[in-house]
Structure 1
């Protein structure tokens, strides 16, 4: 099974047919899954995630990014009285999705400075303990996890903890990025995130214009076919491959996702009905 989606549902102008109030519904009429990235910046209220579930078809699913203090981008003390409270709030937020069978995975995207150390290995073990048996995907942004001496140990650790390996395509800019590693660590699922290959934009993560340039990239036909082959290869290792296009800066993600869907000859059932635009009558 191959499930293709995008990061967020608000930045894809080519798929909207109605008003801004119906962007989620329009999105769900085109793709069967979405990555929720707003949860990285603030843990949503359960009432909010419940509305997302209610507004989408029963077949529609979510990958939810872990809150930024859960992935060491920030310190939990800035937001909550305890780390336990932070995790409880997050668990409450995802409950409406999880209880309805609509949660694909929780994505822990770690920062470039989260390197391969004993302390960080201990934290990964702590994450598994805190998240119980929920599906958790791990994305590294530091190359030290994939050196000649650490790569196999990293994959073994993810497999031991039941974590879903996140295979990434991103600019190669030193230790602050990771190579493409086509290995599954969970037989049920492998996650692929395609960030584009804009090296100059990737380095502007902390600049004012980072949203406009960081993932400004459009995959060409050769690159789409390359990933189609990689996906077929990973299908031999996991029952489901989730593919998320994150090249949103220039609005290319939706078109590239449609091109990959065509390259893989995939069609999806159970999508939301397309919203009617009165100007198309």
Structure 2
């Protein structure tokens, strides 16, 4: 099964029915896609109450890919806002367990920063992640090319298989050591493709943090590029039980459009979507 979705559900106006309140955006989103990446969990671990509501507001077949908190993956600068590292992991595990309890957890995504390179201490940290998150399906996303260098890349993939990690396949600009190649290899019964765009200038930009983020993911895939991605996805589909494809090129509002275009290329007709709301009074006022 292929699950196409987006990162976050709050910034895709083309998916909402008219003027949609923030609390209703997730419902509208589930009328279009059967999966979503919870990216807010990277910045703060969601409360149990929020997770319960999200799960209750989504159809039975809907799945969440929950992004690991930034303190777990080495992004956080300064001290973690917990008494200990174990407290941090336990708080995240409690959150993930709530998704799992409702049957809505697709996987946990651990995205590591560009400075997380292929060296012994970082391999040991991946083993620590595996131990801490032993009860979950966990995807690993690298942002450093050393994990894909020859002949290391085969060792990387073998390690992910041995630890039952999901290899995150990335489509992103090829902009030096702080980016990774598109490497369509699966290492578990599920697979994850994250589509970041191909904006090389934005990927390298080190200016103002807010503007840099907007520029980095500013990209609109053309039909040929989406067709090429579709060909890879069709090949990978036969190797796994579930294949998640998440568009992260959000800043120019291209993600939803590109995801819809890819669904058309793959002839995906999702079953179990939420009913799309209709404006029953259109033209009567």
Q: CA–CA distance in 2 between the matches of 1:206 and 1:54?
A: 40
- Judged with a 3 Å threshold, the aligned counterparts in structure 2 of structure 1 residues 205 and 167 are, in CA distance, closer, same or farther, namely farther
- Judged with a 3 Å threshold, the aligned counterparts in structure 2 of structure 1 residues 98 and 210 are, in CA distance, closer, same or farther, namely same
1:83-122 equivalence runs, <5 A: 83-122=85-124
Residue range with higher mean Cα deviation, 103-112 or 70-79: 70-79
Which residue is equivalent to 1:45?
Answer: 47
TM-score, L = length of structure 2: 0.95
Which residue is equivalent to 1:12?
Answer: 12
The structural deviation recorded for 1:204 is 2.8
Q: Secondary structure at the match of 1:266?
A: coil
Which residue is equivalent to 2:192?
Answer: 191
Q: CA–CA distance in 2 between the matches of 1:89 and 1:272?
A: 30
TM-score, L = length of structure 1: 0.96
Q: CA–CA distance in 1 between the matches of 2:79 and 2:134?
A: 23
Q: Size of the alignment, in residue pairs?
A: 280
For residues 1-25 of structure 1, give each alpha carbon's deviation from its aligned partner in whole angstroms, at most 9, with x where no partner exists: 1110000001111111141231111
Aligned pair partner of 1:248 in 247, 250, 260: 250
Aligned pair partner of 1:263 in 265, 282, 285: 265
Gaps of 5+ in 1: none
- Judged with a 3 Å threshold, the aligned counterparts in structure 2 of structure 1 residues 205 and 95 are, in CA distance, closer, same or farther, namely farther
- Judged with a 3 Å threshold, the aligned counterparts in structure 2 of structure 1 residues 232 and 277 are, in CA distance, closer, same or farther, namely same
The structural deviation recorded for 1:278 is 6.1
Which residue is equivalent to 1:33?
Answer: 35
Which residue is equivalent to 1:82?
Answer: 84
RMSD of aligned Cα (Å)? 1.4
Q: CA–CA distance in 2 between the matches of 1:49 and 1:142?
A: 32
| 2:69 aligned with 1:64 | no
Q: CA–CA distance in 1 between the matches of 2:39 and 2:250?
A: 12
Which residue is equivalent to 2:276?
Answer: 274
The structural deviation recorded for 1:215 is 0.6
For residues 107-126 of structure 1, give each alpha carbon's deviation from its aligned partner in whole angstroms, at most 9, with x where no partner exists: 00000000001000000001
